[in-house]
Amino acid sequence: MTEPFMLDLHTYLERLGYSSAPPPTLDTLRELQARHTAEFPFETLASMLRVPVEVEPAAIQDKLLRQGRGGYCFELNRLYLLLLQALGFDARGLTGRVVMGGPEDALPARTHMLVLVTLGGVRYITDVGFGGMVPTGPLLLDNEAEQSTPHEPYRLTLVDGTYTLRALVAGSWRAMYVFDLQKVADIDYVVGNWYVCTHPDSPFRGQMIAARTGPDLRKTLNNGSFAIHRLGQASERVQLQSVDEVLKVLREEFGIRVPEHPERREIIERLIVGA
Q: Considering the candidates 36, 112, 151, 229, report the single residue annotated as catalytic.
A: 112
Residue-level pLDDT at 64: 98
Cβ atoms 219, 205 nearer than 8 A: no
What does the alpha-carbon distance between residue 236 and residue 216 come to, in Å, rounded to a whole number?
A: 14
What does the alpha-carbon distance between residue 133 and residue 180 come to, in Å, rounded to a whole number?
A: 20
CA atoms 107, 75, 187, 140: torsion sign: negative
Residue-level pLDDT at 201: 86
Cβ atoms 256, 250 nearer than 8 A: yes
**pTM greater than 0.75 (yes/no):** yes
CATH second-level architecture of 7-272? 2-Layer Sandwich (3.30)
Angle at 230 between CA 240 and CA 225, to 5 degrees: 15
Give 10-residue mean pLDDT values along the chain (275 residues): 85 98 98 98 95 95 98 98 98 97 86 97 98 97 97 97 95 96 96 92 91 97 96 91 97 96 94 80
Give 53's strand partners.
none
Residue-level pLDDT at 2: 61
Cβ neighbours of residue 262 under 8 Å, at least 6 residues apart? none
Domain locations along the chain: 7-272
What does the alpha-carbon distance between residue 236 and residue 226 come to, in Å, rounded to a whole number?
A: 8
CA–centroid distance for 17 within its chain: 19
Query: Active-site residue 127, yes or no?
Result: yes
Cβ atoms 133, 100 nearer than 8 A: yes
Q: Considering the candidates 36, 127, 151, 197, report the single residue annotated as catalytic.
A: 127
Query: Active-site residue 73, yes or no?
Result: yes
Q: Considering the candidates 73, 151, 197, 229, report the single residue annotated as catalytic.
A: 73
Give 274's strand partners.
none
Beta strands at 154-159 and 217-222: parallel, antiparallel or unpaired:
unpaired
CA–centroid distance for 174 within its chain: 18
Distances (CA, A) of 235 to 22, 219, 220, 267: 35, 10, 10, 27
Query: Active-site residue 201, yes or no?
Result: no
